[in-house]
Structure 1
Amino acid sequence: MSPEWVADRSSGYEAGVRGIHRSMDAAIGSPGDVGRGRLRWTRSVRSFSFALVHVLTSRRGAWVSLIIGILILLGLIGAFGRATTAASNQSAPPNSESVRVAALTGEFPDADDRTLLVVAAAPDGAELTTAQNDGLERLADALKGNADARVLGPFASDDGRAAVVQVTAAVGGDDAHAERALVDEVRGVVHGHGIDGLTLQVTGGPAFGVDVASAFDGADFTLLLVTIGIVAVLLIVTYRSPVLWLIPLLVVALADQAASKATTALGAALGLSFDTGIVSVLVFGAGTNYALLLISRYRERLVAEPDHRRALAQAWRATLPAIVASNVTVVLSLLTLVLAVIPGTRGLGLACALGLVIALAAVLLVLPPALAVCGRGVFWPFVPRVGETRDRGRVWRRVAQGVVRRPWMPLIGGLALLAVMASGLLGASLGLSQTEKFRVPSESAAGLTVLSEHFDAGQAQPFTIVTRTESQDDVAAAAEAVPGVVRVNVATTSDDGALARLSVVGESAPGTAESRALVGQLRSAVHAVPGADALVGGQGAVEVDARDGNLRDFLLIAPVILLLTFLVLTVLLRAVVAPLLLLAVNALSAIAAIGAGAWLGRALFGWDALDLQVPLLSFLFLVALGVDYTIFLVHRARTEARALGTRNGMVTALATTGGVITSAGVILAGVFAALGLLPLVTLGQISLIVGIGVLVDTLVVRTLVVPALFAVLGDRMWWPSRASAGANGSDAQESHHDVDRAPARAGA
């Protein structure tokens, strides 16, 4: 082991180990077996850290490490390259009443039937003419050309301005390919038998599924290209080098592809459903942030260290605690989603956690040898030179000095801004209807809109009741007695004759508060029928169960996320006051971003409501990713405070990390903005909220509010431990004059 490396005492890791030594010595008292065990453990960890970074950065070890790392990533891509996950549109909890009804329908003889509706209406809203009605009759005859199809209609609306033809055909279970073939066949016949003056649209459940799948055709590849483009442009602007940006981008891109294949294989093995676009965005965003922090510290050390390999090793050890703590915080937060009852939410947590672990490994184990191989010249044309005195953080230093000198104005102003943003939640509502979930127009959504305008609003999405056959009359009577029910029809009985299925049409339009209330009234009425064991399902009931499940998930998981984040901050900072205040500010920032996103969504994009999953996922991403920047800043502030005191330490920390944190925040916001390209409003809302939140967190919270808090409380932020090494570094020795003269230590 190189003696020069052992002698390096500026490492954040070394400082962290010394702090742990002091804390444990104070707690244990006189040394004993426990103390000797602790010393052996810390020495082992330190030795492993030095040995590992030596392998990663030495002349021969860097090449070996780089080749092995690339081969492992390529091996993951190759090993899981053919893995696929089954698409799932289940939005309600698996044990909910609506899902149980859907499962019971498999016991009926028409379980494999799929129903499509051909909706006809004049664009100008005129009544259908005799010739147009005759044309619809001919269209119905043409649709009967499929021997397996059962065609009913056309049925005219009461106002005579629309008509509908119902087409029912059997498909092979839940085979998505068979459903797409059915929809394509029906649409082909409809479009081949156009009727003058009428718009013909095919809608219904299978049509919605096909339109969603079609909207995503090629979308993941487009998302990948746009994400790479955004990261590339922002890295070029950040580094101002035609070469350097390629190295972290290639490493993170390889990690993204490996994570994509590995998470897909995980989903296939565990039967999980999740959005792969969110996984890719997180891997790119977090991986690039880790790389920015490491390369920024590497640039600092190159000014003080002539050997670029030794400088890289020092930077790796100095940033290791912050990067690992950041990753652990986000991964643990994501793993809390396993507590969710909504399938898509639970699957997303495991997939994203695995993706971020792969991103962490790539940045810590593949990026350093790549930088070591390339040498100092990779920063061309702005190559750091030993002894260079230019202070790159002078703008951030002036900002920090101003905040620390007069902290109350930025503190109150920043908190007031967050409160104003949070007020956007006033008047916000939750839940998107089936037609509102599309960001781009679709034939199925347009057809459903026309159907609800001219027929009984509830006919577009009737409710389904499954009950015991002997109780079907009593259940039907109980359902008909519910206010808001238009009619109840007994559809069929199960294969064994034990169950009966009823169809219920309500007055209220799907997705409305009245429709949700009707579900509750129906359930209360039919559950009261003795011995019927009646259950209410259908799309309207699914939305009610999904709403309840998402609310339950938010109320359970959000506090757990906050608790885990607090524990990670407490361990990293070895304090209680700072983690509590930082977490409170971070949570307020997340709520403010959700409020601002809800208001902007209504004002700019016409999104009248947030989708059910948006509050929880946005809160998780904002809290977990926002803590990243807290860790980057405050971990550096604690390191600097040992020599400079808390207030001067915060000035130096903001001066040295302000640029990298801002760059990381802009890149992360840009990467999340790419989610807006995908066709679902849900992803667009997450993109908008997280983008706003990351920028506000970077430019306001980390730049103004957090430094102001440290200026107001000083060393009390570190209670019950102490940050200062001695009296000379304590806040008692600091003054505003000292803050103004805080040294600009580029390599601190």
Structure 2
Amino acid sequence: MWDSLASFANRYAVVVIGLWVVAAGLGTLLVPPAEHTARIHARGFLPADAPVNIAGARMGAQFHDGKSGNLNYLVLESDHPLGPAERAFHDQLLAKLRADHQDLDSVTDLWSDPMTAPAALSDDGKATYTILRLPGDLGAAQANRALDQVRRIVAGQPAPAGLRAYVTGPGATIADELSTIDRQMLLMTCVTVVLIALLLVAVYRSLATALIPLMTVGLALGVARSVVSLLGERDVFEVSIFSVALLAAMVLGGATDYGIFLIGRYHEARRGGVSHERALGVANRSVGPVIVASALTVAAALSCLTFAKVGMLRSAGLPCAIGIVTGMLASLTLLPALIALAGRYGLAQPRKLNRKTGLRWRRVGALVARWPAPMLVASALALAICALPVSGLRLGFDEPAAQPDSTLANRGYQAMDRHFPPNRLLPEIVSIKTGHDLRNPAGVIAIERVTRKLMEIPGVTMVQSASRPAGSIPEEATLSDQAGVIGDQLDDGVAKLDQRLSAVNRLAPTLAQFSDALSRLQAGLSGGVNGIDQLNSNIDVMGSGMHQLQNTVAQISGNLDPLRNYTQSNPNCQNDQICSMVLEIVQPVDSLIAGSDVLARGASQLSVSTSRTAQGLTTADHSVGTMRALVAQLSSMAAQLTNVVDEMRTTFSGLTDYLREVRQDFQGSGEGGYYLPQRAWDDPRFQRAAELYFAPGGDVTRVLVYGDGKVFGADGARRSPQIVAAVHEATKEGALAGSTVDITGFGTGTAELRGFVNSDFVLLAAVALALVFLIVLVMLRSPVAAAAVIGTVVVSYLSALGVSTFIWHDLLGKDLHWAVQSMALIALVAVGADYNLLLTMRMREEALARTGTRVGLRTAMIRAFGSTGGVVTTAGIVFGITMLAMLSSDVLTIEQVGSTIGVGLIIDTLVVRTFAVPGIAGLLGRWFWWSPPAFLLGPLRRRTSHQPGPPQNRVG
């Protein structure tokens, strides 16, 4: 099979090369770039069924502000306190954002509400933020596309002088990390290719020879990217920017290794005098199975990432596996064709062998073969020292720290940190669902109980809820403030009472004046009674005189009767001079008689009246005396009332001052005792703020919990379950009893991510190790050898992780990113097994002897070292430097994954493959190749008739 494949590639070299060139060209022309597909079809950072995503979507539906938990923030920062111009910019910008219903689910404007403005506006007045809820899960294509559009809208709005606007938050953090990798991918690829080219030229000392694996790698990468993009565009599997970046590194490293393996064996055969065609066949027959086994090992291990729940790990599996398989196919077809075509023209031929290099590796092999135990102990000690820092391994989940400070998301965080306490944009959001309306004082007081319980959690710095819209208890909702209100009301009441009772102070002098008046009145009445008595006596005298006068006048009138009769008998008396003279005499006398009668009657009546008046005045005199006694009593009572009012005024004044002091003493302390009367709840400010914290039906409320430390890390992950426990504890009874609690936020997401990462790592380790073990077992046909290979690469992985921990954590002070342990495990177990597999297979081949007679294991080991030492070392260093080239990125994830895998490959190449595996083989001897007879011994017997059984420990 392998000879036929080599023969076909040799005979139809131009056709094979042409097919690969056409495939790469058509893929480039007809299929979108892999980066474009990754951007358009990216999926969420966490699984769609992750509890944090479900909780976020449920809250969005309950509050009618979106279908996802993709929170971002608009941050405004100015060189001076925000004023009317900045307010106008803010309002105009929000109007434009609200008009984009496709890219923005909702806007929560805290700055415009007086009740919540203190939380949204910095203490120096130079920064504010607004909550933006975008569609799509974090890291998904929809979310990234919406973020880009929102940022374009913000950038397109002319800002006042000195004002800067940022769109940041958890969603922006994930998007910016991936976009940074996207922008740097070309740089990383170019750096990798340049390093590989320089190494190959240095190794082969021939540009033509170095170009053969480079062309193979380039065309394989082009085809692999097109295949991945095509399948990703049709959603056959998940593709991300991270997977595209890792795909390039894996193909460049893996396919270059395969080229080094094949060219190395081809050169070995050519140096042995074998013809070009036969050398190509020998190389293909010897190395082809190793390439297939290596590629299948790496591809199988990478495919295990498909079982991961975290998007970054899951998306890297199948794309990288396809890249490795494509590199394998190119190495089995395109690479032999290029070697064949170059060989026809005398190119790509081996340089003169540096015998010192070959002898040096044979000496290393002899050293290990002669003293396997000391070499194994020494290598084990070196590996143990390298692995020692693993005991202090801490995985980092700080995504903002994993990307450059210059990303838009990090610049937004930096702006917030300059004006606000840390983590103001990273709250944990808790929703509490009940079966009744909570929009009343009783409901808000119950929410305050939950809020206060949350504030007791270590590390919690602020809680925003319906009871604390701005993060602190409103003064209107405290018992101390209500006491102050009562004091104010008492003071107003006492002031009004004082105004009304001020007449009491004027009552005493009034009563004294009244008493004096009564005294004078009584004295006057007494004098009046005496005067009236005298008057009555005089009236009686006057009456007697009047009677006498009346009698005298009557007598005179009687004497005038003749004259009167004369006048009465003369009808014309007026015209009669004598009669008229008589009439003038008679008429005055008649008038005097009539007047005297009237005077007599008047005198009689006046006498009666004066008698009665005298009696009345006497009674009035007694009444005034009584009244004077009563006024004296009233004056005494007024004095007592004045004293009481003074005492009451003093008492209420002290009470008012006390209540006001209570309000003043507790003002701003948060310890005033929560109490929300209906009057305060009906305040329009509370009602506006309630719209932010209550769902439209009023049966669901949400609480925002802010904490210190690293929310994107252990602090946030540890705090999330504490928040849930505190809410459950505070809702055992009362208005919130029996409620349903949901929580979302990046601390919660980090907690779930840690769980996913740990479970993914265990699953990946188990499945990957099992698959690689089976593949190595099939190739080596010995469970002992396969176990040794797998065991040593696990130790190599731990050593690489230890060295990486020492460099990044102990020296540079940065935790290892959570993706490192899983990605390094898959890569190092798979690739490391390849190098050990190549060595052990060559040892087995040498043990069967090229002459058809068996040689001892030690001899086989020395020969295998001499023939493969330089090739495998070169391949390992090339692959390691390929991964180390990822240090050209300034994304911490890429840097640490690349450096850990690179260091691991170098450790595996120089220590594990060189000393540990051969040392184990030398110690075990024939047991290293032990297997059931039908599995290994049968084929060995069929291939040789000498000395049945495994090779013996003889030094050749």
TM-score range, shorter chain: 0.7 to 0.9
Tell me the equivalent position of 1:659: 870
Q: How many Å separate the matches in 2 of 1:362 and 1:682?
A: 30
Report 1:341-420 matches (<5 A): 341-375=309-343, 379=347, 382-383=350-351, 393-420=358-385
> Is 1:696 aligned with 2:907?
yes
Tell me the equivalent position of 1:481: 453
1:321 deviates by: 1.3
Does the aligned pair in 2 maintain the 1:118–1:164 contact within 8 Å?
yes
Amino acid of the residue matched to residue 218 of structure 2? Answer: A
Does the aligned pair in 2 maintain the 1:156–1:163 contact within 8 Å?
no
1:67 deviates by: 2.2
Q: How many Å separate the matches in 2 of 1:479 and 1:106?
A: 21
Tell me the equivalent position of 1:148: 96
Tell me the equivalent position of 1:165: 128
Does the aligned pair in 1 maintain the 2:716–2:750 contact within 8 Å?
no
Match of 1:249 among 202, 214, 237: 214
Of 432-441 and 523-532, deviating more is 523-532
Question: More helix per residue: 1 or 2?
Answer: 2
Tell me the equivalent position of 2:823: 617
Of 552-561 and 719-728, deviating more is 719-728
Does the aligned pair in 2 maintain the 1:69–1:365 contact within 8 Å?
no
Secondary structure of the corresponding residue to residue 95 of structure 1? coil
1:159 deviates by: 9.2
Tell me the equivalent position of 2:532: none
Q: How many Å separate the matches in 1 of 2:818 and 2:269?
A: 47
Of 163-172 and 623-632, deviating more is 163-172
Of 78-87 and 246-255, deviating more is 78-87
Q: How many Å separate the matches in 2 of 1:91 and 1:587?
A: 28
TM-score (norm 2): 0.65
Secondary structure of the corresponding residue to residue 148 of structure 1? helix
1:180 deviates by: 2.3
Identity score, percent: 27
Secondary structure of the corresponding residue to residue 505 of structure 1? strand
1:323 deviates by: 0.9
Does the aligned pair in 1 maintain the 2:110–2:120 contact within 8 Å?
no
Q: How many Å separate the matches in 2 of 1:495 and 1:504?
A: 14
Does the aligned pair in 2 maintain the 1:234–1:667 contact within 8 Å?
yes
Does the aligned pair in 1 maintain the 2:180–2:403 contact within 8 Å?
no
Tell me the equivalent position of 1:517: 718
1:577 deviates by: 1.4
Secondary structure of the corresponding residue to residue 193 of structure 1? coil
> Is 1:318 aligned with 2:286?
yes
Amino acid of the residue matched to residue 93 of structure 1? Answer: P
Of 80-89 and 514-523, deviating more is 80-89
Match of 1:220 among 174, 185, 203: 185
Does the aligned pair in 1 maintain the 2:121–2:127 contact within 8 Å?
no
1:517 deviates by: 2.4
Tell me the equivalent position of 2:6: 53
Tell me the equivalent position of 1:36: none
Does the aligned pair in 1 maintain the 2:188–2:886 contact within 8 Å?
yes
Secondary structure of the corresponding residue to residue 691 of structure 1? helix
Tell me the equivalent position of 2:706: 506
Tell me the equivalent position of 1:277: 245
Instruction: Please tell me whether Structure 1 or Structure 2 has the larger radius of gyration of its CA atoms.
Output: 2
Structure 1 residues 712 and 568, CA, compared in 2 at 3 Å: closer, same or farther? same
Q: How many Å separate the matches in 1 of 2:769 and 2:448?
A: 48
Does the aligned pair in 2 maintain the 1:117–1:164 contact within 8 Å?
no
Q: How many Å separate the matches in 2 of 1:221 and 1:553?
A: 30
Match of 1:104 among 34, 58, 72: 58
Match of 1:719 among 918, 930, 933: 930
TM-score (norm 1): 0.82
Tell me the equivalent position of 2:23: 72
1:619 deviates by: 1.1
Kindly provide the CA deviation profile for residues 59-116 of structure 1, in whole angstroms up to 9, marking residues without a partner as x: xx22333323332343344442356133647433332210112333452432289652
Kindly provide the CA deviation profile for residues 618-668 of structure 1, in whole angstroms up to 9, marking residues without a partner as x: 111111110010111111111001122211111111111111111111111
1:443 deviates by: 4.7
1:494 deviates by: 9.6
Tell me the equivalent position of 1:675: 886
Report 1:643-654 matches (<5 A): 643=849, 644-654=855-865
Report 1:167-206 matches (<5 A): 167=130, 174=142, 176-186=144-154, 193-194=161-162, 203-205=168-170
Structure 1 residues 206 and 693, CA, compared in 2 at 3 Å: closer, same or farther? closer
Tell me the equivalent position of 1:32: none
**Corresponding pairs, count:** 670
Match of 1:637 among 843, 864, 868: 843
Tell me the equivalent position of 1:116: 73
Structure 1 residues 371 and 200, CA, compared in 2 at 3 Å: closer, same or farther? same
1:357 deviates by: 0.9
Kindly provide the CA deviation profile for residues 481-530 of structure 1, in whole angstroms up to 9, marking residues without a partner as x: 23335324256589985984614223333235343222102223456766
Amino acid of the residue matched to residue 118 of structure 1? Answer: V
Report 1:560-575 matches (<5 A): 560-575=767-782
Does the aligned pair in 2 maintain the 1:646–1:731 contact within 8 Å?
yes
Structure 1 residues 317 and 191, CA, compared in 2 at 3 Å: closer, same or farther? farther
Secondary structure of the corresponding residue to residue 534 of structure 1? strand
Match of 2:796 among 589, 592, 598: 589
Of 530-539 and 664-673, deviating more is 530-539
Q: How many Å separate the matches in 2 of 1:380 and 1:257?
A: 23
Q: How many Å separate the matches in 2 of 1:264 and 1:477?
A: 54
Report 1:538-553 matches (<5 A): 538-553=745-760
Report 1:299-338 matches (<5 A): 299-338=267-306
Q: How many Å separate the matches in 2 of 1:56 and 1:591?
A: 41
Does the aligned pair in 1 maintain the 2:293–2:779 contact within 8 Å?
yes
Tell me the equivalent position of 2:403: 438
Does the aligned pair in 2 maintain the 1:326–1:628 contact within 8 Å?
yes
Structure 1 residues 344 and 213, CA, compared in 2 at 3 Å: closer, same or farther? closer
Report 1:229-244 matches (<5 A): 229-244=194-209
Does the aligned pair in 2 maintain the 1:397–1:652 contact within 8 Å?
yes
Kindly provide the CA deviation profile for residues 172-220 of structure 1, in whole angstroms up to 9, marking residues without a partner as x: 764534422433443576875217xxx9866434553564355345312
Does the aligned pair in 2 maintain the 1:342–1:549 contact within 8 Å?
yes
Secondary structure of the corresponding residue to residue 465 of structure 2? strand
Amino acid of the residue matched to residue 593 of structure 1? Answer: A
Structure 1 residue ranges without an equivalent (≥5): 1-47, 123-131, 739-748
Kindly provide the CA deviation profile for residues 143-195 of structure 1, in whole angstroms up to 9, marking residues without a partner as x: 32323357554758999457431245676764534422433443576875217
Q: How many Å separate the matches in 2 of 1:317 and 1:606?
A: 49
Q: How many Å separate the matches in 2 of 1:209 and 1:93?
A: 14
Tell me the equivalent position of 1:258: 223
Q: How many Å separate the matches in 2 of 1:532 and 1:344?
A: 35
Structure 1 residues 733 and 111, CA, compared in 2 at 3 Å: closer, same or farther? closer
Q: How many Å separate the matches in 2 of 1:429 and 1:729?
A: 49
Kindly provide the CA deviation profile for residues 410-448 of structure 1, in whole angstroms up to 9, marking residues without a partner as x: 211111111111111232212232321214543532542
Q: How many Å separate the matches in 2 of 1:640 and 1:331?
A: 28
Secondary structure of the corresponding residue to residue 782 of structure 2? coil
Q: How many Å separate the matches in 2 of 1:569 and 1:454?
A: 59
Kindly provide the CA deviation profile for residues 319-350 of structure 1, in whole angstroms up to 9, marking residues without a partner as x: 11111111111111111122211122122111
1:49 deviates by: 4.0
Amino acid of the residue matched to residue 481 of structure 1? Answer: K
Amino acid of the residue matched to residue 487 of structure 1? Answer: V
Secondary structure of the corresponding residue to residue 110 of structure 1? coil
Structure 2 residue ranges without an equivalent (≥5): 98-106, 112-116, 137-141, 467-690, 732-736, 850-854
